[in-house]
């Protein structure tokens, strides 16, 4: 499946491909700092320390007071892909913390992340947060704010993330950072222009996916939910065609890919794996799903039947998506996402990087 | 707030002091406007608009005289010509308002369209230098109900297609200045400072929010119906106080023949204004949609007659708070680059 993304030409692409396949730490562009500095910083902030920074950040955010935070002089802050001054955006409108809390850490890279709920003007919202810690100061803050009350309420109704995400992997079964990213990236490569004919053996049989607090797989209640339903995927009502055309949130991860109905996701780009945590088998990516909605609306199902399906207008999902990988297979997926202008950049990548479908992550010498 | 007002004042000074630059060249390069002069007259430019729409509908940018380094944005995002709307447009409606500015080499159109059958509103402007299209800026308002509402007017207000007598044409400088003062008036909740012709109506995203009694708009409260007021009184109510700044402001087309000035204006809403304090009414709550940080790019155009604003129309594109407009510098729409 790694052959599916369009391979960009040039040195950068070749280097990224090397990272992907043989894990040579050439250019490490997911984390702007160089590798050596990251390792040094990591020694000063372990998992508990990183989570402490997230807590401190969320408390300061709820109090609308960024001055409480230890930040570097040139700290960079983005909200929904836009670079703002720390203290702007959600910092003006946050009114409290929420109840859903999912913490992720990458001590080797000095990165911490969080999925959870907050209050904005009293209403529940979803926040995806990434912090980079250098010398016990916050140097980077990246946020996605999903302003959808119902989805935030769904997340809080779930109560907590799947415990699997925080379970440790036995030391002898831990994947290298490169292999962890490689497995998670198969998900993106398999979804992009999905034709239902790929090798989807990277999914564990019990794989589950949650999107903005809702079960998007193996969900007997919500037959047509999640990303696909909200993308206006057409549903054929005739009973003899239901098996072919009716995408279902009741299917397993693998069945959804095998349907070929995800074809309208035309490009998954700027795949920045910002948390790579071999100890827990967790990889978190910030990325974009593009829907060109042009000729790609017409496609062939695995059955051979040609259909027209998918959204009618171009747009992009801005997504933070985390994977639990065990023994080379994806067991859990959780995503926070919202709609963005078609082709939008994250504010953390060059134009070329933002258009690339190659995976990027922080390579750590000796840990790949 | 003071800092923002300072910036706005600076923007006003810029437009006032350098009207030729502000009104003639959207990228602030006056010499380019000079180069374009005489290269493509009014009919040539409007003809190119039709040529563009034809190519767009054919999904074939190869039919256009594109400059080698043509810049293209759709809803502020730099893309390749041929992407996004180029792949989805399925028809162009009859509701069209054209603009042309031979002096600056700029032309454009507002039109209702369909994308794979779904209604939307397109606002297009492009720049022509030496017969080649060098810049293309598209705004697509993707809301089917709004597009249908615009079409429900039947046709554009006739003022948009009525040429202004040569002897009554407003100077380029005054046209740009009038548009700019309008935005100052919004920020200062002061309609008295804006040169309105009180017959002026405003239609944004297919909705007329002035002289429109009987509708319950965003700010309707009891007998308080700002949408029923004339545009000056509407502005004086203070309901627009959630708009913190309107910057940048780019005048891109000054069509003296038709008396139309078109610009792109970024409205920034921090989302922290909960009420408008309306004299005689009390606190009017802000609608939920503006109670979180957001920015909105407005493609807005003004009919100027005898130095006064006679009609306003435009479309919006919702964006993340603090978004750029895509024309700050080549390939640098995003500040993270």
Per-residue pLDDT of chain B (337 residues; tens, 9 = 90+): 233 333 333 333 333 332 333 333 333 333 344 444 447 999 999 999 999 999 999 999 998 999 999 999 999 999 999 999 999 999 999 999 999 999 999 999 999 999 999 999 999 999 999 999 999 999 999 999 999 999 999 999 999 999 999 888 999 999 999 999 999 999 999 999 999 999 999 999 999 999 999 888 888 888 899 999 999 999 999 999 999 999 999 999 999 999 999 999 999 999 999 999 999 999 999 998 899 999 999 999 999 999 999 999 999 999 999 999 999 754 433 333 2
CB B186 within 8 A of CB B243: yes
Round to whole Å and give the CA distance between B98 and B124: 10
A81 touches chain B (CB under 8 A): yes
According to the 3-state scheme, what is the secondary structure of A316-363? EEEEEEEEEEECCEEEEEEEEEEEECCCCCCCCCCHHHHHCCCEEECC
Q: Do A82 and B116 touch (CB under 8 A)?
A: no
* The predicted structure's pLDDT at residue A98: 98
- CB contacts of B115 in chain A (<8 Å) are 293, 312-313
| Each residue's pLDDT tens digit, A237-266 | 333 344 556 788 889 999 999 999 999 999
Per-window interface: A 232-261 vs B, CB < 8 A: none
Give me the percent of chain A exceeding a pLDDT of 90.
76
Kindly state the tokens that stand for B258. 């038709």
Strands A203-211 and A329-340: parallel
* The predicted structure's pLDDT at residue A60: 98
The domains found in chain B, sorted by start residue, are 10-161 (3.10.450.50), 166-319 (3.10.450.50)
Nearest to B336 among A93, A295, A345 (CB): A345
B83 touches chain A (CB under 8 A): yes
Nearest to A84 among B59, B115, B322 (CB): B322
Question: B76, B140, B146, B321: which to substitute to probe chain A, counting the most A Cβ within 10 Å?
Answer: B321
* The predicted structure's pLDDT at residue B332: 38
Q: Is A149 helix (H, G, I), strand (E, B) or coil?
A: helix
Round to whole Å and give the CA distance between A273 and A278: 13
* The predicted structure's pLDDT at residue A274: 98
A293 touches chain B (CB under 8 A): yes
* The predicted structure's pLDDT at residue A326: 98
Nearest alpha carbon to residue A147 among A318, A348, A313? A318
> Looking at the whole model, is its pTM more than 0.80?
yes
Q: Do B84 and A84 touch (CB under 8 A)?
A: no
Q: Do B319 and A312 touch (CB under 8 A)?
A: no
State the complex-level ipTM. 0.84
According to the 3-state scheme, what is the secondary structure of B299-312? EEEEEEECCEEEEE
Partners of A111 in beta bridges: A106, A132
* The predicted structure's pLDDT at residue A227: 52
* The predicted structure's pLDDT at residue A43: 53
**Closest CA of chain A from B163, distance in Å:** 36
pLDDT bracket for residue A44 (50, 70, 90):
confident
* The predicted structure's pLDDT at residue A5: 29
- CB contacts of A350 in chain B (<8 Å) are 337
DSSP-assigned states of every residue in A193-255: T--S-S--TTEEEEEEEEETTEE-SS-SS-SS-HHHHHTT------GGGHHHH---TTS-HHH
Q: Which residues contact A24 (CB under 8 A, 6 or more apart)?
A: A18, A363, A368
CB B174 within 8 A of CB B305: no
B88 touches chain A (CB under 8 A): yes
- CB contacts of A145 in chain B (<8 Å) are 292
Kindly state the tokens that stand for A285. 């990516």
pLDDT at residue A88 is higher than 60: yes
DSSP-assigned states of every residue in B273-294: --EEEETTTEEEEPPGGGSS-E
pLDDT at residue A38 is higher than 50: no
Which H or E run contains A287?
A: strand A282-291
Q: A171-210 burial, b if ≥16 CB within 10 A, otherwise e? A: eeebbebbbbbbbbbbbbbbbbbbbbebebebbbeebbbb
| Each residue's pLDDT tens digit, A333-349 | 999 999 999 999 999 99
CB B75 within 8 A of CB B139: yes
Helices A11-22 and A177-191, axial angle in degrees (round to 10): 110
**Closest CA of chain A from B157, distance in Å:** 28
pLDDT bracket for residue A20 (50, 70, 90):
very low
Which H or E run contains B90?
A: strand B89-101
| Each residue's pLDDT tens digit, A142-152 | 999 999 999 99
Q: Do A343 and B78 touch (CB under 8 A)?
A: yes
pLDDT bracket for residue A100 (50, 70, 90):
very high
Block residue for tokens 């590798």: A35
Q: Do B88 and A344 touch (CB under 8 A)?
A: no
* The predicted structure's pLDDT at residue B326: 93
Comparing A29-38, A52-61, A242-251, A349-358, which segment has the lowest mean pLDDT? A29-38
**Closest CA of chain B from A294, distance in Å:** 4
Mean pLDDT over the full length of chain A: 85
Round to whole Å and give the CA distance between A296 and B234: 46
Strand order of the β-sheet with B89-101 is: B77-78, B66-74, B132-141, B118-129, B106-115, B89-101
Q: Do A295 and B87 touch (CB under 8 A)?
A: yes
CB A72 within 8 A of CB A139: yes
* The predicted structure's pLDDT at residue A64: 98
Q: Is A110 helix (H, G, I), strand (E, B) or coil?
A: coil
Partners of A128 in beta bridges: A115, A144
A340 touches chain B (CB under 8 A): yes
CB B219 within 8 A of CB B331: no
- CB contacts of B333 in chain A (<8 Å) are 345
* The predicted structure's pLDDT at residue A129: 98
* The predicted structure's pLDDT at residue B207: 97
* The predicted structure's pLDDT at residue B218: 86
pLDDT at residue A62 is higher than 50: yes
A309 touches chain B (CB under 8 A): no
């Amino acid at each position: 499946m790694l052959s599916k993304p369009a391979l960009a030409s040039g040195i950068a692409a070749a280097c990224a491909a090397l990272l992907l396949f043989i894990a040579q730490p050439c250019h490490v562009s997911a984390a702007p700092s160089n590798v050596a500095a990251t390792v040094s910083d990591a020694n000063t902030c372990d998992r508990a320390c990183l989570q402490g920074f997230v807590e401190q950040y969320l408390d300061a955010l709820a109090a609308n007071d960024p001055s409480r935070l230890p930040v570097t002089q040139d700290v960079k802050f983005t909200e929904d892909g836009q670079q703002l001054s720390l203290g702007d955006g959600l910092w003006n409108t946050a009114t409290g913390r929420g109840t859903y809390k999912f913490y992720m850490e990458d001590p080797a890279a000095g990165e911490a992340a969080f999925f959870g709920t907050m209050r904005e003007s009293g209403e529940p919202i979803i926040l995806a947060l990434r912090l980079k810690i250098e010398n016990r100061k916050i140097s980077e803050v990246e946020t996605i704010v999903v302003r959808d009350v119902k989805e935030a309420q769904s997340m809080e109704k779930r109560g907590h993330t799947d415990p699997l995400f925080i379970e440790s992997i036995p030391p002898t079964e831990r994947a290298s950072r490169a292999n962890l990213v490689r497995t998670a990236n198969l998900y993106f490569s398999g979804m992009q222009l999905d034709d239902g004919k790929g090798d989807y053996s990277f999914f564990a049989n019990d794989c589950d996916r949650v999107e903005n607090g809702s079960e998007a797989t193996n969900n007997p209640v919500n037959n047509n939910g999640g990303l696909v339903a909200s993308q206006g995927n057409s549903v054929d009502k005739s009973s003899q065609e239901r098996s072919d055309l009716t995408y279902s949130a009741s299917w397993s991860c693998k069945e959804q890919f095998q349907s070929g109905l995800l074809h309208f996701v035309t490009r998954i780009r700027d795949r920045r794996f910002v948390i790579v945590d071999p100890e827990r088998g967790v990889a978190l990516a910030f990325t974009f799903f593009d829907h060109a909605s042009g000729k790609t609306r017409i496609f062939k199902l695995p059955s051979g039947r040609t259909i027209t399906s998918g959204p009618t207008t171009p747009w992009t999902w801005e997504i933070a998506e985390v994977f639990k990988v065990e023994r080379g297979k994806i067991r859990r997926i959780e995503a926070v996402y919202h709609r963005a202008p078609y082709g939008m950049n994250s504010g953390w990548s060059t134009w070329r990087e933002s258009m690339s479908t190659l995976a990027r992550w922080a390579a750590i010498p000796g840990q790949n | 707030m003071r800092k923002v007002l300072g910036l706005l004042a600076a923007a006003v000074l810029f437009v006032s002091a350098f009207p030729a630059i502000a009104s003639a060249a959207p990228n602030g390069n006056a010499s380019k406007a000079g180069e374009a002069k005489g290269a493509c007259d009014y009919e040539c430019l409007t003809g190119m608009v039709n040529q563009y729409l034809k190519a767009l509908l054919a999904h074939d940018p190869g039919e256009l005289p594109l400059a080698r380094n043509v810049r293209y944005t759709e809803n502020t995002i730099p893309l390749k010509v041929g992407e996004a709307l180029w792949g989805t447009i399925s028809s162009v409606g009859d509701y069209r308002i054209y603009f042309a500015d031979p002096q600056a080499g700029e032309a454009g159109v507002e039109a209702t369209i369909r994308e794979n059958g779904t209604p939307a509103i397109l606002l297009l402007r492009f720049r022509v230098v030496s017969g080649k299209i060098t810049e293309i800026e598209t705004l697509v308002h993707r809301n089917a109900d709004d597009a249908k509402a615009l079409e429900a007017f039947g046709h554009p207000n006739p003022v948009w297609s009525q040429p202004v007598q040569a002897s009554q044409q407003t100077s380029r400088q005054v046209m740009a200045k009038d548009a700019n003062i309008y935005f100052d008036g919004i920020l200062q909740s002061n309609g008295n400072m804006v040169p309105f012709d009180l017959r002026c109506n405003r239609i944004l995203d297919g909705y007329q929010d002035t002289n429109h009694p009987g509708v319950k708009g965003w700010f309707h409260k009891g007998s308080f119906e700002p949408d029923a007021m004339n545009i000056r009184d509407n502005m004086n109510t203070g309901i627009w106080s959630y708009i913190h700044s309107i910057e940048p402001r780019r005048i891109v087309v000054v069509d003296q023949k038709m008396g139309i000035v078109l610009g792109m204006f970024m409205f920034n809403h921090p989302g922290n204004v909960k009420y408008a304090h309306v004299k005689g009414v009390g606190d009017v709550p802000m609608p939920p949609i503006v109670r979180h940080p957001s920015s909105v790019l407005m493609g807005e155009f003004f009919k100027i007659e005898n130095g006064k604003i006679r009609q306003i129309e435009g479309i919006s594109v919702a964006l993340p708070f603090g978004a750029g407009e895509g024309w700050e510098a080549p390939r640098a729409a995003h500040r993270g680059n």
